[in-house]
Amino acid sequence: MEIDVLCAVPGLLEGPFSHSILERASKRNLLHVQVIDLREYGLGKHHQIDDYQYGGGAGMVMMVEPLYNAITELQSDRAYDEIIFMTPDGLPFTQAKANQLSLKGQILIICGHYKGIDERIREHLVTLELSIGDYVLSGGELAAAVVIDAVGRLIPGVLNDETSALFDSFQDGILAPPVYTRPAEFKGWKVPDILMTGNEAAIDAWREEQAEKRTRERRPDLLRD
């Protein structure tokens, strides 16, 4: 899978993809993330990428031309399955969306800044708009990193059995049960006895019960549909 990220602050994306699971994905040629600096497509000698908004009002808007030139140049190289714009007014990003995106071949993610991007780009070039939650970030870069992490780990071959995504919270619409490791007792805090019995069926039943309890207590909304 190839994910290109077009953004105004590429520095924000330097860290996230050079560690652990996503780094392994890249070394195994399962996922390539390329960050493109929108400023390279900026206008004039100052490489301008934003301007005042028509109709007045506070805040700058990312201009149509740099975005258009960047996107069409990238498209001459790649046939994107999806052109995603990260925006707080997009569709909520969920595990189901992550699953769908993990099956795509080539994706372009556009990150906005300031007041947003010229609506004409959204209207004519963007195919999917995503939000990672009901709060406002100063730009789409960190949201894009969240999407890429969630999608990247689902690509076949990226995770091994131990890190398998099958049993993640949300993957079956329910939260994950509590987990424990050595020692069996720490400062008088004990690991539940059931986990020491070696009785796999009983352990599975306990985990299922704990997962349901946890979901009922913390996220009853997940059980309603």
- Interacting residues toward ligand 6GU by CB under 6 A: 86-88, 90, 130-133, 135-137, 139-140, 143
Q: Which residue, among 124, 118, 84, 117, has the nearest Cα to 101 in the 3D structure?
A: 84
The nearest distance, CB 144 to ligand 6GU, in angstroms, is 7
**Given the complex with ligand 6GU, which of 132 and 159 has the nearer CB atom?**
132
**Given the complex with ligand 6GU, which of 84 and 154 has the nearer CB atom?**
84
CB atoms within 10 A of CB 61: 19
The nearest distance, CB 48 to ligand 6GU, in angstroms, is 21
**Given the complex with ligand 6GU, which of 31 and 143 has the nearer CB atom?**
143
CA 187 to chain centroid: 38
What dihedral angle (degrees, nearest 10) is formed by the CA atoms of 9, 15, 16, 20? 170
Pairing of strands 50-52, 2-7: unpaired
Q: Could you tell me if 109 and 6 are in contact, meaning their C-beta atoms sit under 8 angstroms apart?
A: yes
The nearest distance, CB 134 to ligand 6GU, in angstroms, is 7
Q: DSSP code of 44?
A: T
Q: How many angstroms separate the CA atoms of 191 and 18, rounded?
A: 35
The nearest distance, CB 16 to ligand 6GU, in angstroms, is 15
**Given the complex with ligand 6GU, which of 71 and 211 has the nearer CB atom?**
71
Q: How many angstroms separate the CA atoms of 60 and 117, rounded?
A: 9
Structure tokens that stand for 87 in this block: 């925006």
**Given the complex with ligand 6GU, which of 10 and 88 has the nearer CB atom?**
88
The nearest distance, CB 207 to ligand 6GU, in angstroms, is 32
